[in-house]
Amino acid sequence: MYITRFSTNPAGQSEFERRDIALSERRQDEFGHEIRTSLPFAAEAVVVELPAGLDQDWHGAPDRQLVVVLSGRLEVEVGDGSRRQWGPGEAFLADDLTGQGHRTRALDGAVRLVFLRLGADFDLARWPPA
């Protein structure tokens, strides 16, 4: 499973990169189906609603967080002007804790998100660049 991570490069600008969340764990359910999962990780979760028309200027992520879009459409812009959009069911890793940060826009109305703040012991090497 691939997600987009944005983080701060050595020049202090945020940039996008693709990461692989490996589904390396396997188990059988009671019906005989093989269920694949990632390695477990600790997180604190909160559901947030961004208002229609939200247009945030440059800012960094307050914590390393996995963000899942529940409804609406969200756009993020990084330092080189690249933009990406996410809709319902899509996720990204906000990891630009320092530097210039990123811009965030709510497109087509309000956006509901789940922010999963990753624990301080989260090892990013578990999700290598793809």
Read off the pLDDT of residues 35-94 as tens digits, 9 standing for 90 and up: 999 999 999 999 999 999 999 999 999 999 999 999 999 999 999 999 999 999 999 999
The domain locations on the chain are 2-126
Residue 85 β-bridge partners: 75
Is 93 in contact with 38 (CB distance < 8 Å)?
Answer: no
Q: From start to end of the chain, where are the E strands?
A: 2-8, 14-20, 25-28, 34-37, 43-50, 55-59, 65-77, 83-86, 91-95, 102-118
CATH code for residues 2-126: 2.60.120.10
Is 124 in contact with 38 (CB distance < 8 Å)?
Answer: no
Q: Is the pTM of this model over 0.85?
A: yes
